[in-house]
Structure 1
Amino acid sequence: MWEDMLNWRNENGVDTIVQDFVYDEYKEVQQCYPHGYHGVDKQGHPVYIERIGKIDVGKLMKVTTVERFLKYHVQGFEKAFLEKFPACSMAAKKPIDCTTTILDVQGLNWMSFGKVANDLVMRMQKIDGDNYPETLHQMYIVNAGSRFKILWNTARGFLDPKTTAKIHVLGNKFHTKLLEIIEPSQLPEFLGGTCSCPNDGGCLRSDKGPWKNPEIMKSTCS
């Protein structure tokens, strides 16, 4: 696996992808696929959020391509290792090397999700599993309806038990659970927190976190 990972990095120019790859369509992608890092949990892990229920696959494929999106996805992982994990480790005063993820599936239409979206998700999961293992601390799937829970109960039988133990599927009464692990100031209002970033695009385009602190970043780079 280690050799395959090194070959993959070499073949795809991953070592320099942060500098070399420019994702010009980022803003357009955000409008039809809201996602991003926002704050840290109470243990200091960066929090990554996706509003899967708001994905418009048709629009997404008009503003980007699967290959470019996968490059952007890989670039995001590389930035996490270069910037977010070191900054969070500095802020928490302990090693941080994994992420707390929140997937909001409210409004997810399985019929419109389609083959393209399914293939994209599967390719992303393969990249993550093969080349970035053990980077998930915990995952919380919120606003999960009865249909999603049925599908999840079926799918979990095909997943590694170590992975499924980290995944928590919650309904629409998820606020108390999230606030147990994340301070309100670090959680967007739409997830029950108190944060409403004033920048264009709101919380999911703010990239809020210790990695935005110049003093911390100066220390991690020195």
Structure 2
Amino acid sequence: RRVARFEMLTTKPLSMENEPENKSKKEPESVPKNDITQTDIGGEKKIEIKAAPTKYHKDLNHKDGYLNCLTDKQKQALKDIKIKITEEKIVLEGYFDPEAETQDLILLRFLRARNFEVKKAYKLLSDDIAWRKDKDVKSLKKKTEREVLGCDPKLMHTHLPVWHQGCDKQGRPVIYKIFGNFQIWEVTKHTSLEKLIDHHLWQMESYMDLTRENSKKFRHIVETVTVVVDAKDWRLSLFTKEATKFLYRISKVDSDHFPERMGRLIVVNAPYLLSVAWKVIRGWLDPKTQKKVQIVRGPNEYEPILKDWISESSLCDEYGGKAKSLRVTQNR
């Protein structure tokens, strides 16, 4: 029987795991009492997780369309898509972690992505399942970064550093991307565009695993990520045909296969000319995703926003926080 350590909502950030715990902190309100069984093993309290959490963090004030906040029409749409997947013998077993998320949570993401139009949501879901089988995503996840890229990962880390560091105040993993000097032609000298797309997929799958881990850890629903994109030194000469194709392809992967997975995204150190590229890129995003994107300039603009989202002790020190940057420690 799998037994997991009971960790409170106020647990130290992932990037600060070596700090001593604050013994005075209380159990979070979001822990569903009927979902856990406490036992005493070796003098230490443990819990066995019996079911996925069914509530969001108290600060995430979702409107209609989310679990426990559905209109009658949306409830009916959820029932209808369940009937549809049963009739079509769509098997979701293995598609999600039952200790971290429920089937309803997954179906609602697809429904929200298609404005609760059941036929369109079902097509998005069934196409995704078929695509994942065709791509053999399970096998892709098990590969090393070098195997996925087909070249030395240091090349990618040099031209497009991307890393995960801690979580925001709602428990969402925080992903940092240094995109300002991405010279894609230097990378495609050593690998292909297709492998770069696979690498993005490989990264996204790892981030989704982090959301599931945080759901189990904090005992409230975590289904999205917070993304910080650094555009310092970006210039129009980087917006080549190949770079445009790459950005379009990864945005397509995200919208078709990771619907409703971005909580919020902020572009920092944005030069004025970035607005030209944004006019193109925003056309690839649905209106709801567009609203989750903020574009700001220097530290005076972005630091207050980031500190509102992320505790200072967990925020990367490159962006005004106190957590030592993990930029070069996650190469693998």
Shift of the 98–10 alpha-carbon distance from structure 1 to 2, 3 Å rule, reads: same
- State the structure with more CA Rg: 2
Cα displacement (A) at 1:47: 0.5
Q: Is the 8 A contact 1:98 1:137 kept in 2?
A: yes
2:197 pairs, out of 53, 59, 70, with: 70
Match of 1:9 in 2: 132
Per-residue Cα deviation, 1:174-215 (whole angstroms, up to 9, x for no partner): 111111111122222221112224xxxxx22435xxxxxxxx
- What is the CA-CA distance between 1:140 and the residue it aligns to? 0.6
1: CA distance between counterparts of 2:297 and 2:127? 39
Q: CA deviation at 1:157?
A: 6.4
Is residue 2:253 matched to residue 1:104? no
Greater CA drift, 92-101 or 132-141: 92-101
TM-score, L = length of structure 1: 0.82
Partner of 1:86: 212
Amino acid aligned to 1:188: C
| 2:118 equivalent in structure 1 | none
Mean Cα deviation higher: 57-66 or 161-170: 57-66
Aligned residues of 1:103 and 1:141 also touching (Cα < 8 A): yes
Change (3 A) 1:158 1:63: closer
Q: Which runs of 5+ in 1 are unaligned?
A: 198-202, 208-222
Aligned to 2:321: 193
Aligned residues: 201
User: How far apart, CA to CA, are the structure 1 residues paired with 2:320 and 2:296?
Assistant: 14
Taking the aligned partners of 1:128 and 1:159, their CA distance within structure 2 comes to: 10
Within 5 Å, which residues of 2 pair with 1:1-222? 1-20=124-143, 22-23=147-148, 25-81=152-208, 83-149=209-275, 151-152=277-278, 156=282, 159-172=285-298, 173-197=301-325, 203-207=326-330
Q: Separation in 2 of the partners of 1:155 and 1:31?
A: 24
SS of residue paired to 1:95: coil
After superposition, the C-alpha distances for 1:40-76 in whole angstroms (9 at most, x for unaligned) are: 1111100111111031223221232211111111112
Normalised TM-score (structure 2): 0.56
8 Å contact from structure 2 (residues 230, 267) kept in 1: yes
Q: Cα distance 1:72–1:156, how it changes in 2: closer, same or farther (>3 A)?
A: closer
Distance 2:279 2:159 in 1: 28
SS at match of 1:144: coil
| Higher helix residue share | 1
Letter in 2 for 1:110: L
**Gapped runs of 5+ residues in structure 2?**
1-123
2:31 match? none
Higher relative contact order (CA 8 A, sep 6+): 1
Q: Deviations over 1:68-122 (max 9, x none)?
A: 11111111222233x3112211332211111001111110122133111111110
